[in-house]
Amino acid sequence: MELLHLIVSSFIGTCVMTSFSYMISESFGQMYREPALLGYIIQRLNITVSDRLKNLLGWALHYATGIIFTLCFLPIWISQGVTVANTLIMGTFAGIAGILSWMVAFRLSPEKPKIDYLGYYAQLFVAHFLFTAGASFAWSATQCMFE
Protein backbone atom coordinates (compact mmCIF):
# COMPACT_ATOMS: atom_id res chain seq x y z
CA MET A 1 0.00 0.00 0.00
CA GLU A 2 2.88 2.37 0.73
CA LEU A 3 4.00 2.12 -2.92
CA LEU A 4 0.55 3.15 -4.16
CA HIS A 5 0.49 5.99 -1.62
CA LEU A 6 3.87 7.15 -2.90
CA ILE A 7 2.76 6.97 -6.55
CA VAL A 8 -0.46 8.91 -5.87
CA SER A 9 1.45 11.61 -3.97
CA SER A 10 4.09 11.83 -6.69
CA PHE A 11 1.45 12.01 -9.42
CA ILE A 12 -0.38 14.86 -7.69
CA GLY A 13 2.85 16.76 -7.02
CA THR A 14 3.97 16.32 -10.62
CA CYS A 15 0.58 17.48 -11.93
CA VAL A 16 0.78 20.63 -9.77
CA MET A 17 4.31 21.33 -10.96
CA THR A 18 3.50 20.68 -14.61
CA SER A 19 0.41 22.88 -14.50
CA PHE A 20 2.52 25.72 -13.11
CA SER A 21 5.23 25.24 -15.75
CA TYR A 22 2.68 25.23 -18.56
CA MET A 23 0.98 28.33 -17.14
CA ILE A 24 4.28 30.23 -16.86
CA SER A 25 5.33 29.02 -20.30
CA GLU A 26 2.13 30.39 -21.84
CA SER A 27 2.19 33.61 -19.80
CA PHE A 28 5.74 34.50 -20.82
CA GLY A 29 5.74 32.96 -24.30
CA GLN A 30 8.66 30.70 -23.38
CA MET A 31 9.34 26.97 -23.66
CA TYR A 32 9.37 25.99 -19.99
CA ARG A 33 7.44 22.72 -20.40
CA GLU A 34 9.59 19.96 -18.90
CA PRO A 35 8.15 17.01 -20.88
CA ALA A 36 8.68 18.89 -24.17
CA LEU A 37 12.24 19.85 -23.19
CA LEU A 38 12.97 16.22 -22.28
CA GLY A 39 11.64 15.20 -25.69
CA TYR A 40 13.87 17.82 -27.30
CA ILE A 41 16.94 16.43 -25.52
CA ILE A 42 16.02 12.85 -26.49
CA GLN A 43 15.77 13.94 -30.12
CA ARG A 44 19.11 15.80 -30.00
CA LEU A 45 20.89 12.77 -28.52
CA ASN A 46 20.22 11.03 -31.85
CA ILE A 47 17.93 8.49 -30.26
CA THR A 48 15.84 7.42 -33.22
CA VAL A 49 12.21 7.35 -32.18
CA SER A 50 8.99 8.65 -33.66
CA ASP A 51 7.70 12.05 -32.54
CA ARG A 52 4.90 10.29 -30.69
CA LEU A 53 7.33 8.07 -28.78
CA LYS A 54 9.63 11.04 -28.11
CA ASN A 55 6.69 12.87 -26.51
CA LEU A 56 5.67 9.79 -24.52
CA LEU A 57 9.25 9.31 -23.30
CA GLY A 58 9.40 12.96 -22.25
CA TRP A 59 6.23 12.57 -20.18
CA ALA A 60 7.33 9.20 -18.76
CA LEU A 61 10.72 10.59 -17.71
CA HIS A 62 9.04 13.62 -16.15
CA TYR A 63 6.67 11.52 -14.02
CA ALA A 64 9.40 8.96 -13.20
CA THR A 65 11.57 11.80 -11.91
CA GLY A 66 8.66 12.85 -9.70
CA ILE A 67 8.61 9.35 -8.20
CA ILE A 68 12.36 9.56 -7.51
CA PHE A 69 11.94 12.92 -5.76
CA THR A 70 9.01 11.56 -3.76
CA LEU A 71 11.09 8.53 -2.73
CA CYS A 72 13.62 10.97 -1.28
CA PHE A 73 10.86 12.64 0.76
CA LEU A 74 9.43 9.36 2.06
CA PRO A 75 11.82 8.81 5.02
CA ILE A 76 11.08 12.31 6.30
CA TRP A 77 7.32 11.91 5.93
CA ILE A 78 7.42 8.55 7.71
CA SER A 79 9.64 9.72 10.57
CA GLN A 80 8.36 13.28 11.07
CA GLY A 81 5.08 13.52 9.21
CA VAL A 82 4.34 16.37 6.84
CA THR A 83 5.07 19.78 8.35
CA VAL A 84 5.37 23.26 6.91
CA ALA A 85 9.03 23.34 7.97
CA ASN A 86 10.06 20.10 6.29
CA THR A 87 8.03 20.98 3.19
CA LEU A 88 9.90 24.30 2.91
CA ILE A 89 13.27 22.60 3.40
CA MET A 90 12.51 19.75 0.99
CA GLY A 91 11.12 22.22 -1.55
CA THR A 92 14.34 24.22 -1.41
CA PHE A 93 16.47 21.12 -1.93
CA ALA A 94 14.16 19.86 -4.69
CA GLY A 95 14.42 23.22 -6.46
CA ILE A 96 18.21 23.21 -6.31
CA ALA A 97 18.40 19.54 -7.38
CA GLY A 98 16.00 20.22 -10.25
CA ILE A 99 18.07 23.14 -11.53
CA LEU A 100 21.34 21.17 -11.28
CA SER A 101 19.76 18.19 -13.05
CA TRP A 102 18.57 20.36 -15.93
CA MET A 103 21.98 22.04 -16.20
CA VAL A 104 23.52 18.57 -16.66
CA ALA A 105 20.80 17.53 -19.13
CA PHE A 106 21.35 20.65 -21.23
CA ARG A 107 25.11 20.04 -21.22
CA LEU A 108 24.56 16.49 -22.49
CA SER A 109 22.49 17.75 -25.39
CA PRO A 110 24.61 18.40 -28.50
CA GLU A 111 22.25 21.23 -29.43
CA LYS A 112 20.87 23.45 -26.68
CA PRO A 113 17.26 24.62 -26.80
CA LYS A 114 16.85 28.31 -27.45
CA ILE A 115 15.23 29.31 -24.18
CA ASP A 116 15.68 31.98 -21.53
CA TYR A 117 17.78 29.87 -19.15
CA LEU A 118 17.67 32.30 -16.22
CA GLY A 119 13.89 32.54 -16.51
CA TYR A 120 13.64 28.76 -16.90
CA TYR A 121 15.70 28.07 -13.79
CA ALA A 122 13.74 30.64 -11.76
CA GLN A 123 10.39 29.08 -12.71
CA LEU A 124 11.90 25.61 -12.24
CA PHE A 125 12.82 26.42 -8.64
CA VAL A 126 9.26 27.57 -7.92
CA ALA A 127 7.84 24.59 -9.84
CA HIS A 128 9.82 22.14 -7.68
CA PHE A 129 8.63 23.98 -4.60
CA LEU A 130 5.05 23.52 -5.78
CA PHE A 131 5.78 19.87 -6.60
CA THR A 132 6.98 19.35 -3.03
CA ALA A 133 3.96 21.14 -1.56
CA GLY A 134 1.56 19.18 -3.79
CA ALA A 135 3.17 15.82 -3.04
CA SER A 136 3.39 16.60 0.69
CA PHE A 137 -0.25 17.68 0.83
CA ALA A 138 -1.31 14.59 -1.12
CA TRP A 139 0.70 12.31 1.19
CA SER A 140 -0.86 13.87 4.27
CA ALA A 141 -4.40 14.14 2.88
CA THR A 142 -4.50 10.53 1.68
CA GLN A 143 -2.78 9.00 4.73
CA CYS A 144 -5.98 7.46 6.08
CA MET A 145 -6.73 5.83 2.71
CA PHE A 146 -3.46 3.88 2.73
CA GLU A 147 -3.25 2.73 6.36
Instruction: Give mean pLDDT, residues 128-144.
Output: 95
Instruction: Give mean pLDDT, residues 98-105.
Output: 96
The predicted model scores a pTM of 0.92
Where in the sequence is the domain holding 114, given as residue range(s)?
2-146
- Give the tens place of pLDDT for each residue, 37-58: 998 998 888 888 888 988 898 9
Decide: residue 100, CB within 10 A, 0-12 exposed, 13-18 middle, 19+ buried: exposed
Asked if pLDDT for residue 1 goes beyond 80, the answer is no
Cα(103)–Cα(92) distance, rounded to whole angstroms?
A: 17
Average model confidence (pLDDT) for the chain? 94
Question: Domain total for the chain?
Answer: 1
Residue 143 pLDDT level (bands cut at 50, 70, 90): confident
